[in-house]
Amino acid sequence: MNNASIGVFDSGVGGLSVLREIRQALPDESLLYVADSGHVPYGEKSPEQIRERSRAIARFLVGQGAKALVVACNTATAAAVADLRELYALPIIGMEPAVKPAAQATRSGVVGVLATTGTLQSARFAALLDRFAGSVTVITQPCPGLVEYIEQGELESARMRTLLQRYTEPLLIAGCDTLILGCTHYPFIRPMLQSVLPPDVTLIDTGAAVARQLQQRLIGSAMTAAGPAQACRFWSSGDPQALRRVLPVLWNAQGEVELLPF
């Protein structure tokens, strides 16, 4: 048993969609969350810039006593998870667009991936396609703008709908029946996304799978907590009040947010 915390981070509020799954799967674990909202979006940054931020945040979370890290961001995983695993011997769980389950689920043989430019351009994503796409056609769609709206707590606006229609139209024309939410911000706009899609299009995200993977790693390393969990601690490198305001919607609870000191 190990009652130290699990450190989770993202470029902003997106990782809260993963944090919710972790809370549900592992209710006895204490959680630390860093939103790098002062540097969002990661999707348009260079891999080196993302690695630098990821290293600094990982160092901070380990300094806070984290026993394991979850990179709750597809873009940061693509750029930095290998680097973090070289630096720390802790369990480090990353996230990737769910190409394998989508390739198994599609009936039309055409799968769409909504993700950031950074994720879609990464060597890690190319390797994922090589391994799991098989005979399925995978069509990628970078989605600049979505993350910025979601960061502002804007989940259902008219301009969000317009952007979603623009991004999904080419995928539908190509015959996609399965869409991968390849960015941890996107589960928060699932209802709006579903409303611009035909009812037979399936959306797939990876939050729950990541929580299960974390659980298996903790059990395998005899590192699970006995509980009870402490209240989740939050930090933001942007405006802590902005994160505090969206927590009741995105995390289903209030929380205190501190300013990330770097």
Question: What is the closest distance, in whole angstroms, from the C-beta atom of residue 205 to ligand DGL in the complex?
Answer: 10
Euclidean distance between the first and final Cα of the chain, in Å? 32
Total residues at interface with ligand DGL (CB under 6 A): 17
5 is an interface residue for ligand DGL by CB under 6 A = no
Query: 34-65 in b/e burial notation, b at 16+ Cβ within 10 A?
Result: bbbbebbbbbebebeebbbbbebbbebbbeee
Strand, coil or helix: what is 103?
helix
Contact with ligand DGL (CB under 6 A) among 20, 53, 67, 185: 185
Each residue 65-104 as x (binds ligand DGL by CB under 6 A) or -, in order, gives --------xxx-----------------------------
> Does position 43 bind ligand DGL by CB under 6 A?
yes
Q: Considering only residues 168, 184, 206, 237, which one is a binding residue for ligand DGL as defined by CB under 6 A?
A: 184
Burial (Cβ within 10 Å: 0-12, 13-18, ≥19) of residue 145: middle
Distance CA 110, CA 134 (A): 11
Nearest C-alpha neighbor of 30 from the set 71, 68, 77: 68
Q: Which helix (H) or strand (E) holds 45?
A: none
Of the residues 30, 37, 119, 168, which one makes contact with ligand DGL according to CB under 6 A = 119
Query: In the range 160-179, which residues lie near ligand DGL by CB under 6 A?
Result: none
Distance of CA 240 to the CA centre of its chain: 20
Question: How far, CA to CA in Å, does 206 sit from each of 22, 101, 170, 184?
Answer: 12, 10, 23, 8
Q: Does 147 bind ligand DGL (CB under 6 A)?
A: yes
- Cα angle 247-213-100, degrees, rounded to a multiple of 5: 100
Catalytic site residues? Answer: 73, 183
Q: Which residues contact 116 (CB under 8 A, 6 or more apart)?
A: 41, 42, 43, 44, 74, 75, 142, 143, 144, 147, 182, 183
Taking the complex as a whole, the smallest distance from the CB of residue 119 to ligand DGL amounts, in Å, to 5
By CB under 6 A, residue 11 contacts ligand DGL: yes
Contact status, residue 240 vs residue 259, Cβ threshold 8 Å = yes
The residue (of 12 and 240) whose beta carbon lies closer to ligand DGL is: 12
Return the number of the residue (42 or 235) whose C-beta is nearest ligand DGL.
42
Radius of gyration of the chain (CA): 18
Stretch that binds ligand DGL, among 35-43, 82-90, 154-162, 206-214 (CB under 6 A): 35-43
Taking CB under 6 A as the binding criterion, the range among 8-16, 192-200, 213-221, 237-245 that sits at the site for ligand DGL is 8-16
Write down the least CB distance from residue 9 to ligand DGL, Å. 10
238 lines the binding site for ligand DGL (CB under 6 A): no
Q: For ligand DGL, which residue of 10, 29, 177, 205 counts as binding (CB under 6 A)?
A: 10
Binding footprint of ligand DGL on the chain (CB under 6 A):
10-12, 14, 40-43, 73-75, 116, 119, 147, 183-185
